Amino acid sequence: MARVVVLGAGLAGLAVAARLADLRHDVVVVEQADTPGGQLRPHDVNGTSVDLGPTTFTMPAPLRELFRATGRPIEREIEMVPVDPAMQIVFPDRTVAEIPNASRAGTRRALDDALGSGAGAGWDGVVDYGSRLWQDLHDAVLGYARRGRTRVPSLRSFSATALSDVRLRQLLDWYATSVGEDPARAPASVTVLPYLEQTFGLWSVAGGSAGLIGAVHRRALERGAVVRTNARANAVDVGGGRVRSVTLDGGEVMAADVVVSAISPDGLRQILPRRALVRSGRTFARRPLPPPRSSFCVLIEADGTARGAGVRKIVVPPDDQNPALTVNRAATSTAGTVTWAVHADCAAHGDAPGAVDWSAAGTVRAYADEVIAHVTSTAVPVGTPQATRLVRTPHDLEQTTGAPGGAIYGRPTPGRPAYLSRPGNRTRIRGLFLAGAGAHPGPGVAMTVISSGIVADLIGRA
């Protein structure tokens, strides 16, 4: 039985804890916040539980496999329901398309109706290309094969050739931002995302993100893992080329045969000794990487009777003047108002080139006003915003998740396909493994759960 310390009690950390405890390892999860959940942790706003993380996801199979592998099936724990319509797209020119869930024919009709004849066929070509890439990448993404060096063109060069309608090219740019990619640098393997949505559909969990994280948390505890909150790791000791222990704020030292980092690789870098960084080689790239992306969130409370009140997810693709927006239904109150979480793609926090100092109050207020103005001017059907609002910046994300700069998506490596561009799950330091959004295969509910399975397989049974 190995002594395992998991850093971070987000979805990936709790999932890997449940798996490893089920394999009879001695597992302790340490989390710097006062509650588990990471990005999926719900927030209390005026007495209402509000989801600031993703409220829909695709590929439910990895979640089903996690629960099946560790005990009772997921259907006995939480209710997963398909989301229909899957999303409403409000293009920068104010054209609106409502996309049905998991229906290629329905999507073609919706895009033809909104953008003109031929738009649906053009988008079908994108989905077909994503399908072919997924067949090539599938085994590597799931950890069944070496990641290799699959080559794909850039997203911009692909879309310029494949799509004649600029609005569809803008939609592909939105997909890139949804996983933390810069559309100008992103690879064309981003097309896998619409393919997965069309094939496996979009899903939500009854009870929102609190319901999902609560179920995974309970499963980890049932299997015997210990989850400690208000416990921040400030050092991982490495000796003889392998992990030895984890030191917490306050000086407590936890002996460890295995450390699984479910925090961002940049955050882990800060608590590893320099000799370990040198030994780890490619895991922590020493060459400069492009500045990471983050997310700026504004909560808007609006009249629940407004048009679009039944939609759960609204997508606003970016243009030359405005960022990509994802507008999620975050809560519905008994008074009939709906709280919308507006997520704007933005630069990470910091003073490095390409970053923004999001701790400056004036910068935050100005950007929040810009985001709200953009929402209300582009015909996004959230109704007339009322007075209540809350803002979460990349600086806030840095404080609550420990991800430097609030870079919650991790840093993709330029020139590599999406899903193969994050650090691998096994490092060159014996006993040190990576899981979560910043590691292979990347961000998103399904991918972070997949990472937990890969790590558990690499560590094996006690």
DSSP code string of 176-218: HHTTT--TTT-BGGGGHHHHHHHHH-EEEETTHHHHHHHHHHH
Same domain, 88 and 191: yes
Specify if 438 maps to a domain.
yes
* Domain interval for residue 25: 3-43+55-77+206-289+413-459
Within-domain flag for 49: no
Question: pLDDT (tens digit, 9 = 90+) per residue, 33-67?
Answer: 999 999 888 887 777 778 888 889 999 999 999 99
Do 97 and 67 lie in one domain? The reply is no
Residue 48 lies in a domain: no
CATH of residue 285: 3.50.50.60
Residue 145 confidence (pLDDT): 80
| Residue 405 confidence (pLDDT) above 80 | yes
pLDDT one-digit tens code per residue, 415-457: 778 788 899 999 999 999 999 999 999 999 999 999 999 999 9
445 and 313 part of one domain:
no
Instruction: Let me know whether 91 and 168 are in one domain.
Output: yes
373 shares its domain with 310: yes
Residues 295 and 388 placed together within one structural domain of the fold: yes
Residue 251 exposed, middle or buried by CB count within 10 Å (0-12, 13-18, 19+): exposed
Look at residue 107 and tell me if it is in a domain. Answer: yes
Q: Which of 382, 404, 426 is the last residue of a domain?
A: 404
In a shared domain, residues 317 and 388: yes
**316 lies in some domain:** yes
Lowest mean pLDDT among 21-25, 117-121, 386-390: 386-390
Cα–Cα distances (Å) from 365 to 320, 345, 369, in that order, read: 22, 16, 6
State which of 404, 427, 444 marks the end of a domain: 404
Cα separation, 434 vs 262, whole angstroms: 6
Q: What total of structural domains would you count in the chain? A: 3
Q: What is the pLDDT of residue 288?
A: 59
Residues 211 and 303 in one domain: no
Q: Determine, yes or no, domain membership for 319.
A: yes
* AA letter at 169: R
Q: Tell me, yes or no, whether 29 lies in a domain.
A: yes
E strands, 46-110, where?
48-50, 57-58, 80-82, 87-90, 96-99
Whether residues 182 and 125 fall in one domain: yes
Is 422 in the same domain as 348? Answer: no
Please write the tens of the pLDDT for every residue from 78-111.
999 999 999 999 999 999 999 999 999 999 999 9
Domain co-membership, 279 together with 427: yes
* pTM above threshold 0.75: yes
Write down which residue in 183, 200, 217 finishes a domain.
200
Please state, rounded to an integer, the average pLDDT across all residues of the chain: 90
In whole angstroms, give the CA distance from residue 120 to residue 133.
20
pLDDT at 309: 56
Are 369 and 380 a contacting pair, CB within 8 Å? no
Question: Is 323 in the same domain as 392?
Answer: yes
Q: 50 in a domain, yes or no?
A: no
Strand boundaries in 59-132, DSSP class E: 80-82, 87-90, 96-99
d(CA 67, CA 62) in angstroms, rounded, equals 9
Residue 319 CA to residue 91 CA, distance in Å, equals 9
